[in-house]
């Protein structure tokens, strides 16, 4: 049981799986000695009233929980039933009605908004810790970039944690702009959701090229010495080439991360515009979990790295054994 040493204020976000377009955001005061996650689960179940069977039968998805103790102190709401959730939701919007805890947003979108708000309010977020393999592969890629290689093919198995890993590589590199390109648009949600959840990435700006003012947002981030992650859909569209031309002509060091590279982007019609746009200064990381040869069929790969699922399991077993011995 992960118990609190001191009383703390927590916020939580959940949704019913049958209603993915709505989510519920609430607060829970957790006394010293109590398990925050257990208390939150108990509160969510109780809030369902006569419909507790929905919770018991797996019809509830707890999207995320936050320790908002520091933010509640700053807002002078560090006490039981202080309505810290209402204080935060006033900044977020999308509330269904004028009262209640329901927001007309998908849970993942709401999570990103809460993450960004808490970072803005100065609430420390969790520190992301890389696994041994993530650290080793990150160090390998950063070293090969320093040695002059520019296109890395990373075949990383399921559950490796590609999103957090690539974010760490970007953070530790001298690149100021990271273009995340994919044919699969859900990739962008995963990136923004994961990176905004951790303190190391709190100052990183996220921009979607689907936004009308995306160029202004990117230019402002660069002018303010902020690292920026830019999301670029490789699905066919009338503005795709314009976006590529803008992003790869910026006067700053750029990193290109292609995720799910064996799906869609491996086709010449999708990848050739990127190949034509990148030059010898752009750091390119091609990520895939399967079919590495398919993913790299067009790009000029000069370094290859991989982690298989058995290797991942062995590393986790060794880490667990070391933890027990200590």
Residue-level pLDDT at 280: 85
d(CA 200, CA 170): 12
What torsion, rounded to 10 degrees, do the Cα atoms 293, 297, 299, 305 define? 0
Residue-level pLDDT at 262: 73
Q: What is the pTM of this model?
A: 0.87
C-alpha distances in Å from residue 300, one per residue of 57, 151, 268, 305? 50, 7, 13, 15
- Please report, for the chain, the start and end positions of each structural domain, with discontinuous segments joined by +: 8-120, 132-313
Q: pLDDT tens, 258-291?
A: 988 776 566 667 778 888 888 888 999 999 887 7
Q: How far separated are the first and last CA of the chain, in Å rounded?
A: 19
Residue-level pLDDT at 1: 44
3-state secondary structure 215-283: HHHHHHHHHCCCCEEEEEECCCCCCHHHHHHHHCCCCCCEEEEECCCCCCCCCHHHHHHHHHHCCCCCE
Residues with pLDDT less than 50, the chain:
1
Residue-level pLDDT at 325: 67
Looking at domain 132-313, does it have CATH number 3.40.50.300? yes
């Amino acid at each position: 049981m992960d118990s609190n040493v001191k009383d703390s204020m927590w916020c939580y976000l959940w949704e019913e799986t049958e209603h993915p377009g709505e989510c519920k955001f609430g607060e829970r005061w957790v006394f010293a000695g109590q398990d925050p996650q257990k208390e939150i689960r108990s509160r969510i179940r109780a809030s369902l009233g006569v419909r507790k069977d929905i919770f018991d039968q797996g019809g509830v998805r707890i999207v995320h929980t936050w320790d908002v103790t520091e933010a509640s102190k700053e807002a002078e709401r560090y006490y039981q039933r202080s309505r810290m959730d209402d204080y935060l939701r006033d900044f977020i919007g999308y509330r269904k009605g004028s009262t209640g805890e329901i927001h007309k947003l998908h849970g993942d979108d709401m999570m990103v908004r809460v993450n960004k708000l808490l970072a803005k309010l100065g609430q420390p977020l969790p520190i992301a810790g890389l696994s041994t393999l993530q650290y080793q592969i990150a160090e390998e890629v950063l070293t090969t970039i320093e040695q002059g290689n520019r296109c890395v093919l990373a075949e990383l198995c399921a559950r490796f944690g590609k999103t957090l890993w690539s974010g760490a590589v970007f953070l530790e590199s001298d690149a100021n702009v990271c273009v995340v390109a994919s044919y699969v648009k859900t990739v962008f949600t995963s990136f923004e959701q994961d990176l905004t959840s951790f303190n190391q990435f709190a100052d990183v700006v996220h921009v979607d090229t689907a936004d009308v003012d995306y160029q202004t947002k990117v230019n402002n981030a660069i002018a303010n010495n902020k690292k920026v992650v830019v999301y670029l859909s490789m699905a066919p569209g009338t503005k795709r080439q314009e976006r590529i031309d803008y992003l790869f002509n910026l006067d700053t060091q750029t990193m290109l991360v292609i995720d799910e590279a064996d799906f869609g982007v491996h086709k010449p019609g999708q990848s050739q515009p990127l190949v034509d746009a990148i030059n010898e200064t752009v750091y390119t990381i091609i990520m895939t979990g399967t079919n590495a040869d398919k993913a790299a069929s067009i790009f000029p790969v000069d370094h290859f790295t991989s982690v298989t699922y058995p290797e991942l399991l062995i590393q986790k077993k060794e880490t667990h054994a070391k933890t027990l011995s200590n």
